[in-house]
A and B are shown apart, each in its own frame.
Chain A
Amino acid sequence: MNGRVGASPRRVGGHERVTGEQAYVADLEIPDVLHARLVTVDCGRARIVSIDTTKAAQVKGVRLVMTPADLPVPMPRFGPQFVDRPVLAVGETHYHGEPVAAVAADTKDAAEEAARLVKVEYEELPAVFTVEAALDPGAPLVQDPSLRPDDPLSATNVLREHRVGWGDLDAAVADLVVEHTYEFPMVTQFAIEPHAYIAAPEGDGISVWSTIQHPNWLQKVIAGLLGLPLSKVRILSPDPGGAFGGKQHAKYEPLVAFMALRAGRPVRLVLSLEETFQAVRRASASIRVRTGFQTNGTLAFQDIAADYLIGAYADIADRVVGKGSYPGCGPYRVPAARILARSILSHTTPSTAFRGFGAPQVNWAVESNLDEGAIALGIDRLEIRLRNLARRGEAFIPFDTPADGDWEQSVRRAAEMIGWGTPLPPGRGRGLAVGIKSGPTTGLSYSTVRLLADGSVVVYAGTSDMGQGARTILAQIAADELGAPLEWVTVVMGDTAVVPYDQQTSASRSSVLMGNSVLHACREIQAKLRAMAARLHGLDESQVLVEHGLVRLPDAELPIIDVLLPGLGSLGGELIGIGEMRKEGDTAHPLGGSVAFFEFNCTAIEAEVDRETGDITVARHVTVSDVGKALNPLQVRTQDEGAAIMGLGHTLMEHYIFDDAGRIRNLGAIDYRIPTSMDLPLELESDMVENEDGPGPYGSKGMSEGALLCVAAAVNGAVREATGAVIRDLPLSPERVWLALQEQGGA
């Protein structure tokens, strides 16, 4: 059947998406809802002198003007790593766009007008927007040291330092040492769905609708802030319209919850795209790489110092820094390594998770530096990678999960597809890079599966389907195991009052962790069917096998329904399976747990450059990922190609531009460009390696981020081969490339 594992049926939920029926948070109609708008001040950091709400409150239809004075003292704070983000800025703002007040009104027009009429008197304060400024000994502190009382770093703007290493770096001897510093810009997730929140008082509790990826995290945050038991906080999270990490953790849900309770009515806040840009971004980074090579290209050591500029509040950014930099040496055999990564606070938008989770920044630097070494040594750039690549089972990070794939296959496949080593058309160059990302280090996913009396199936899973296709994958697993047509499987997600606990949707975990959980639930049902069949047919359970929707008896093979119906008997009913998948942590491990799997990708590029304008044309883009097993090959392809195109965004065009006051100058879709259909590679080809060697169902691995990881270094390699231009900053905008070509011409 075409809905089985390994097939590519139509996306579950696809019909609703092509007809406009799919209801995202902003599409929900909530009776009696008030419309909220945020009030902000126009600079990166300010002291709030006063807030006058008189005129705003007089606007017809305004029901609430919320200021810090209306919230508990001390100001409630929250955050997944540090409890540092206030519900509303109190006393001082710390980034451009941080709300200082909010209004709620019967109509959007009234809310808009009232928000403009809230008079905020403020005094702009000295602020830090760059790594250099934040590290200056005289720099103003972004966070009050009282927020981190026992922290020796609390009197600095360094939130945390992460150190990983092995071997004796100081004693390591190399024939050639290459050292450079690379810059990665601030970019933003730009999900086409801006963030949206609704909160409604419900009896002695509250309901909160959100575009959130992690409803169970949000439930804990809201319950903690409001002093409610978890059972009285219901989080409803319709499928997000793209998230890419930006929607993992709570942002303005707590504010909207407090507003709803105060107003005694539902309150709805839909951010504009500009406000969304001010709410979430990827950390920029400045990364110094010192690589030691032997003459034959063997790596002697890697010494990496990565300064990530996170924002005013930690959100999950410090975890991004620690986990993203951790596999910084790449999938290579490196005898001695030292990685120092720092998360540095600044008066900018709090950075958070973004596809790749801190790995693309270091990858850009380390893979580019590898090219520099290869060129200096006169060794082919593919050859130097193959020479150092870890083999399956090799503990390339000595204290972690050994290499869990035949990674050379992906590299050779990509090289073959791009025609590595074959003559180039004139004016063109090729580049090739590999990327690796650590999968989840802990996890807990429960699921419930019900096999109903007619053989149809309901799956309850707390994963969020934000486009990666989890709904389809989980339905395919249940359909395959329980023998139901795919159209007979319903997957219920996004409601904490109904769906059992799932830790989170992140790190490309859902096919593996929730997939296994659903598989276990199905296997529990299969065990019940086995007992039924044995009872009905007078057999011992050991003589019965249930698999792929069939019940196999010694002398017959029955569809599940033929056992289920008589087995359930005259009262009918259903069979229920409970799934649980744990990935335990390890407190002694640098990341708090070993890696469940690695995402591995090789990207190869053929490009040419217009020397008059600096404009890059990506002629061919090849991306190959090691996915273990493609549960749905078409979805693997679209995730890989989508990640590749997103990678071209930060490689070629995307970056925030700040002014002296810390304001983002290019807020919104006109001035912040992402790839359109006119920016695609002339040819984009993806392929996958399937060795069924992953920890997920049927040997699958997580795979949704890999194809983004190493795009920048691969494109840069192609530009260098095509033109000789040496560039160590992103994006590779026409201006930057043109300047590099001019410098080269003058040299």
Chain B
Amino acid sequence: MTQPAHLLPVTLTVNRRVREFEVAAHHTLLDVLRDDLALTGAKECCLVGECGACTVIVGGRTVDACLMLAIEADGSQLTTIEGLAEGGRLSAIQGAFLDHGGVQCGFCIPGQVISAHALLEANPHPTRAEVDEGIAGNLCRCGCYEQIAEAILATARASGTAKPGAAEIAAPGER
């Protein structure tokens, strides 16, 4: 009754590294990231594309990895939460999440940070309404939405008032 899973070859560029492997046709991108590539930053929660805990960037667009089959992503460039910090240095948006109190339990945070990162890539100076819209697909039960929005807006401000590299983010409660 159990057919051996039919495996298909897939090539993905994940966080700038080319990965070639075989996947079962019914396995989602989230299954493959977590179980085959040991990238567990993207989280499993609702598995119906509502919570955003598994948000990753595929070909420049955010997707819920639970809704995409791995074979659909064949040939794509992927960025996951593991790909944002370079050489152990947090990206500006990652640091801003910490400085503004945007992180509590942290389970939704990989998805939130990826959505925030993608929002700022597409719209470097969003309004508050655009920020709320941009993270509307990412549930946070700790209720950190205000602080996450502050983090995104502060990152945008910092990138606009100084040349890249000189950005300093105002941090409440720091120094």
What is A's interface to B at a CB cutoff of 8 Å? 2, 7-11, 13-24, 26-27, 29, 55, 58-61, 108-110, 113, 189-194, 239-244, 270, 272-273, 466-469, 633-635, 637-639, 641-646, 668-670, 674-678, 680, 684
In whole angstroms, how far apart are the Cα atoms of A553 and B173 in the complex? 32
Contact of A15 with B46 in the complex, beta carbons under 8 Å: no
In whole angstroms, how far apart are the Cα atoms of A7 and B110 in the complex? 26
B5 contacts chain A at the CB level, 8 A cutoff: yes
B114 to chain A, nearest CB (A): 9
Contact of B107 with A8 in the complex, beta carbons under 8 Å: no
Partner among B5, B47, B133, B143 whose Cβ is within 8 Å of the Cβ of A642: B143
Please name all residues of chain A whose beta carbon is closer than 8 Å to the beta carbon of B104 when the two chains form the complex: 11, 242, 467-469, 638-639, 642
Stretch from B69-77, B93-101, B158-166 that touches the partner: B93-101
A475 to chain B, nearest CB (A): 15
Beyond A18-B106, A55-B1, A670-B50, 10 additional contacts (C-beta under 8 Å) are A2-B175, A10-B99, A17-B106, A192-B43, A193-B105, A243-B105, A273-B46, A641-B147, A644-B143, A676-B145
Contact of A676 with B136 in the complex, beta carbons under 8 Å: yes
Partner among A242, A637, A677 whose Cβ is within 8 Å of the Cβ of B142: A242
Please name all residues of chain B whose beta carbon is closer than 8 Å to the beta carbon of A676 when the two chains form the complex: 136-139, 145
Contact of A19 with B90 in the complex, beta carbons under 8 Å: yes
Please list the 9 inter-chain residue pairs (A to B) with the smallest Cβ-Cβ separation, ordered nearest first.
A20-B41, A241-B107, A8-B173, A467-B105, A17-B106, A642-B143, A645-B143, A669-B50, A20-B81
A334 to chain B, nearest CB (A): 32
B22 contacts chain A at the CB level, 8 A cutoff: no
B119 to chain A, nearest CB (A): 11
B95 to chain A, nearest CB (A): 8
Contact of A8 with B44 in the complex, beta carbons under 8 Å: no
Please name all residues of chain A whose beta carbon is closer than 8 Å to the beta carbon of B135 when the two chains form the complex: 677
Can you list 10 residue pairs at the A/B interface with Cβ under 8 Å? Answer: A11-B98, A17-B109, A18-B109, A19-B94, A192-B45, A272-B47, A641-B143, A642-B104, A670-B46, A680-B145
B73 to chain A, nearest CB (A): 18
A52 to chain B, nearest CB (A): 15
B53 contacts chain A at the CB level, 8 A cutoff: yes
Contact of B173 with A633 in the complex, beta carbons under 8 Å: yes
* Smallest Cβ-Cβ distance to A708: which chain B residue: B143
A163 to chain B, nearest CB (A): 35
Contact of B44 with A270 in the complex, beta carbons under 8 Å: yes
B18 to chain A, nearest CB (A): 20
In whole angstroms, how far apart are the Cα atoms of A427 and B121 in the complex? 40
In whole angstroms, how far apart are the Cα atoms of A646 and B141 in the complex? 7
* Smallest Cβ-Cβ distance to A11: which chain B residue: B103
B108 contacts chain A at the CB level, 8 A cutoff: yes
What is B's interface to A at a CB cutoff of 8 Å? 1-2, 5, 24, 31, 34-35, 38-48, 50-51, 53, 80-82, 84-85, 90, 94-95, 97-99, 101, 103-110, 113, 131-133, 135-149, 172-175
* Smallest Cβ-Cβ distance to A27: which chain B residue: B40
Please name all residues of chain A whose beta carbon is closer than 8 Å to the beta carbon of B51 when the two chains form the complex: 192, 273, 669
* Smallest Cβ-Cβ distance to A113: which chain B residue: B2
- What is the number of contacts between chain A and chain B, taking CB atoms within 8 Å? 188
A715 to chain B, nearest CB (A): 16
In whole angstroms, how far apart are the Cα atoms of A270 and B173 in the complex? 38
Please name all residues of chain B whose beta carbon is closer than 8 Å to the beta carbon of A639 when the two chains form the complex: 104
A485 to chain B, nearest CB (A): 14
In whole angstroms, how far apart are the Cα atoms of A23 and B82 in the complex? 13
Please name all residues of chain A whose beta carbon is closer than 8 Å to the beta carbon of B103 when the two chains form the complex: 11, 14, 17-18
Contact of A14 with B105 in the complex, beta carbons under 8 Å: no
Contact of B82 with A20 in the complex, beta carbons under 8 Å: yes
Please name all residues of chain B whose beta carbon is closer than 8 Å to the beta carbon of A467 when the two chains form the complex: 104-106, 142
Partner among A9, A113, A191, A634 whose Cβ is within 8 Å of the Cβ of B107: A191
Q: Which of A20, A23, A26, A60 counts the most B-chain CB atoms under 10 A from its CB? A: A20
* Smallest Cβ-Cβ distance to A55: which chain B residue: B1
Contact of A194 with B173 in the complex, beta carbons under 8 Å: no
B104 to chain A, nearest CB (A): 4
Partner among A14, A108, A189, A684 whose Cβ is within 8 Å of the Cβ of B98: A14
B117 to chain A, nearest CB (A): 11
Contact of A680 with B85 in the complex, beta carbons under 8 Å: no
Contact of B139 with A634 in the complex, beta carbons under 8 Å: no
In whole angstroms, how far apart are the Cα atoms of A675 and B50 in the complex? 12
Known contacts A669-B139, A670-B50; is-contact A680 B146 (Cβ 8 Å)? yes
Q: Which of B24, B51, B143 counts the most A-chain CB atoms under 10 A from its CB? A: B143
Please name all residues of chain B whose beta carbon is closer than 8 Å to the beta carbon of A190 when the two chains form the complex: 141
Contact of A670 with B43 in the complex, beta carbons under 8 Å: no
Contact of A638 with B145 in the complex, beta carbons under 8 Å: no
B82 to chain A, nearest CB (A): 5
In whole angstroms, how far apart are the Cα atoms of A676 and B109 in the complex? 14
In whole angstroms, how far apart are the Cα atoms of A18 and B82 in the complex? 9
A231 to chain B, nearest CB (A): 31
Q: Which of B113, B133, B146, B148 counts the most A-chain CB atoms under 10 A from its CB? A: B146
In whole angstroms, how far apart are the Cα atoms of A383 and B92 in the complex? 48
Known contacts A192-B107, A194-B44, A669-B48; is-contact A634 B81 (Cβ 8 Å)? no
In whole angstroms, how far apart are the Cα atoms of A113 and B105 in the complex? 33
* Smallest Cβ-Cβ distance to A13: which chain B residue: B106
Please name all residues of chain A whose beta carbon is closer than 8 Å to the beta carbon of B101 when the two chains form the complex: 8, 11, 634-635, 637-638
A711 to chain B, nearest CB (A): 12
Please name all residues of chain B whose beta carbon is closer than 8 Å to the beta carbon of A243 when the two chains form the complex: 105
B42 to chain A, nearest CB (A): 8
In whole angstroms, how far apart are the Cα atoms of A60 and B5 in the complex? 11
Known contacts A194-B44, A669-B46, A675-B143; is-contact A18 B94 (Cβ 8 Å)? yes
B146 to chain A, nearest CB (A): 6
* Smallest Cβ-Cβ distance to B85: which chain A residue: A19
Please name all residues of chain B whose beta carbon is closer than 8 Å to the beta carbon of A24 when the two chains form the complex: 43, 107
A33 to chain B, nearest CB (A): 11
Contact of B142 with A8 in the complex, beta carbons under 8 Å: no
Known contacts A9-B174, A240-B105; is-contact A684 B80 (Cβ 8 Å)? no
In whole angstroms, how far apart are the Cα atoms of A678 and B41 in the complex? 25
In whole angstroms, how far apart are the Cα atoms of A670 and B39 in the complex? 26
* Smallest Cβ-Cβ distance to A467: which chain B residue: B105
Contact of A668 with B84 in the complex, beta carbons under 8 Å: no
Known contacts A192-B107, A669-B51; is-contact A59 B140 (Cβ 8 Å)? no
In whole angstroms, how far apart are the Cα atoms of A275 and B140 in the complex? 19
Contact of B146 with A18 in the complex, beta carbons under 8 Å: no
Please name all residues of chain B whose beta carbon is closer than 8 Å to the beta carbon of A241 when the two chains form the complex: 43, 105-108
Partner among A641, A669, A678 whose Cβ is within 8 Å of the Cβ of B146: A641
B90 to chain A, nearest CB (A): 7
Please name all residues of chain A whose beta carbon is closer than 8 Å to the beta carbon of B105 when the two chains form the complex: 191-193, 239-243, 466-467
Please name all residues of chain B whose beta carbon is closer than 8 Å to the beta carbon of A108 when the two chains form the complex: 31, 35
Contact of B5 with A109 in the complex, beta carbons under 8 Å: yes
Please name all residues of chain B whose beta carbon is closer than 8 Å to the beta carbon of A642 when the two chains form the complex: 104, 142-144
Contact of B1 with A58 in the complex, beta carbons under 8 Å: yes
